[in-house]
């Protein structure tokens, strides 16, 4: 009897997980080497380091002292310091005021 109740509970749990999984968004965003490409989202931070991101999704990179961001061939939204910003394709943000903000969230659409 215990075995059949456990099996039923397992089947119900598996069914519930199957129903929920398609509702969750895929997070295909990934950090990639920049190379010579200009179509990636590129972030300059911490005195000259760079990070590039490709594919749609959301990531929390936590990059400190951001001095520049270019969107490449992407529409993006981000939380930079205490500001939420949106950028269209082929645009850039440059920190001319020396705010040294941290990039908390990056969403490539």
> For the residues 39-57, what does the mean pLDDT come to?
94
Structure tokens at 100: 């040294």
Please give the model's pTM, rounded to 2 decimal places. Answer: 0.72
pLDDT, mean over the chain: 81
What are the Cα distances from residue 91, in Å, to 29, 47, 63, 82?
A: 19, 21, 19, 20
- H-run or E-run covering 7: helix 2-20
Class of the CATH-defined domain 26-108? mainly beta
Q: What backbone phi and psi angles, to 5 degrees, belong to 81?
A: 65, -125
> For the residues 93-99, what does the mean pLDDT come to?
82
């Amino acid at each position: 009897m215990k075995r059949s109740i456990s099996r039923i509970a397992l089947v119900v749990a598996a069914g519930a997980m199957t129903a929920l999984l398609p509702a969750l968004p895929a997070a295909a965003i990934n950090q990639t080497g920049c190379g010579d490409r200009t179509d990636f989202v590129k972030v300059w931070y911490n005195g000259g380091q760079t990070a590039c991101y490709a594919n749609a999704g959301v990531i929390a990179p936590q990059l400190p002292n951001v001095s520049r961001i270019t969107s490449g061939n992407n529409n993006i939204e981000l939380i930079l310091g205490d500001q939420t910003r949106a950028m269209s394709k082929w645009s850039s943000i440059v920190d001319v005021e020396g705010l040294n903000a941290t990039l908390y969230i990056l969403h490539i659409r």
